[in-house]
Amino acid sequence: MATVKLMTDTEAEAIPEVKAVFDDIRATRGSDFINNIWRALAQDPQGLERTWEQVKSVMAAPGALDPKTREMIYIAVSAANGCSYCVHSHTAAARAKGMSDDEHGELLQIIGLAAMTNTLVTSLQVPVDPEFEVS
């Protein structure tokens, strides 16, 4: 259960700002499916619009990183932050954008290794080497 109601398509149709975002999500993704995060955010139309604009701009615009790599980075952050929903949705998205089982397996090993060394370094309070400084 969410802490807000999930907005149905019927309800969304009645609120112009929400309808506009839902329409744009569908057009951008070429799919009729609106997943639950948008239905939850829709209770605050301005927050919905702001969040979608960010997601669209960062994840869907052309750039130096390919869509699959972007999704794998998203999974990494979501796992480190412990967000179940986000791990599920971005693992599905990464697969849809071509992530192979081998790539998924390697991604998870890097995520796990990084979490391990992050915590070791924090336990040891390792000082930053001057060699890493941006001159």
Query: For residues 30 and 82, which CB has a smaller minimum distance to a copy of itself in the complex?
Result: 82
d(CA 59, CA 33): 17
Show contacts with a copy of itself in window 57-96 (CB under 8 A): 57-59, 63-65, 69-70, 72-92
Q: Classify 66 in phi/psi space as left (phi over 0), alpha (psi -120 to 50) or beta.
A: beta
Do the Cβ atoms of 25 and 52 come closer than 8 Å?
yes
The verdict on 40 binding a copy of itself (CB under 8 A) reads: yes
- Supply the minimum distance, in Å, between the C-beta of residue 82 and a copy of itself: 4
10 binds a copy of itself (CB under 8 A): no
Q: What's the min distance (Å) between Cβ of 27 and a copy of itself?
A: 19
Q: Does 8 help bind a copy of itself (rule: CB under 8 A)?
A: no
CB of 65 to a copy of itself, least distance (A): 5
Q: Does 42 bind a copy of itself (CB under 8 A)?
A: no
- If one asks whether residue 32 binds a copy of itself (CB under 8 A), the answer comes out as no
User: Counting contacts by CB under 8 A, is residue 15 touching a copy of itself?
Assistant: no
Q: Does 14 bind a copy of itself (CB under 8 A)?
A: no
| 22 or 89: CB nearest a copy of itself | 89
